[in-house]
Amino acid sequence: MKPLVRLLMTAWITILAAQFGQARDIKVIANPSVKAGSLTVSELRGIYLLERKALTDGSPVEPVLQKAGAAHEAFFKQYLNRDSEEVRTYYQRLVFTGKGSMPKRFGSDAEVVAYVAQTRGAIGYVSAAADTEGVITLSVVSEDRKPRTLLSRVEPEYPETLLKLRIGGTVRLELTVSPKGAVDDVVVVGGNPILGEAAVKAAKQWVYSPWPSQTKIRVAIPFEPHP
């Protein structure tokens, strides 16, 4: 192999490894009310640049920031392709022109998790080692790996006994979806087993967009007893 070609390949591999490492060092988290199990990079960028206030299913979202730190810098560089100072200036410009307001900012992973856990639609980022109890973790995919589209969704029926007792929670499912879009199998991977039964019954009726092959999809279904 020629020295120049070897040098270019080495540089390319180094860049890819660095980008992979940055993505692996952070987690994107969301309030359990967020029904999406994943976001594309462009969707995440649109949320954090305040270009979109809702997901494709109409669910409202609220971006949450950290004030500083390794996870903060890695997130901005990896997904927004900007450093924190550029984004701060961008937010200030939106506030000054009345086109947006400054997102909530917190000083630690724990504070971000606590806010996201109790705020409907909130999306944030933390270091990979952070305790994320009470929130869900979203996968971030590139545009060429955009997840299958949910074409038809049946909402689960809240078990009457648990509803009366005001027992709620989030059920996590793994769906096996056929190439034609039918849900062939559903496995409960987390949550109350009684709520899980209701979630499974509903998810088996969902329909996804066609795909070249069978796929596995993880989803989170929140059950929230109303006052």
Name the pLDDT band for 43 (thresholds 50, 70, 90).
Answer: confident
pTM of the model: 0.58
CATH H-level, domain 148-223: superfamily? TonB (3.30.2420.10)
**Cα–Cα distance for residue pair 120/30, rounded to 1 Å:** 9
Q: Would strands 183-190 and 169-177 be described as parallel, antiparallel, or unpaired?
A: antiparallel
Q: Which of 51, 76, 53, 58 is nearest to 66 (CA)?
A: 76
3-state secondary structure of 204: coil
Domain residue ranges in the chain: 3-143, 148-223
* Digit-coded pLDDT (tens) for 165-198: 999 999 999 999 988 899 999 999 999 999 999 9
**Cα–Cα distance for residue pair 225/168, rounded to 1 Å:** 6
pLDDT at site 24: 54
Name the pLDDT band for 78 (thresholds 50, 70, 90).
Answer: confident
Six-digit token string for 2 = 């020629």
Domain at 3-143: CATH architecture: 3-Layer(aba) Sandwich (3.40)
* Digit-coded pLDDT (tens) for 99-124: 888 999 999 999 999 999 999 999 99
Least confident segment among 10-19, 71-80, 85-94, 206-215: 10-19
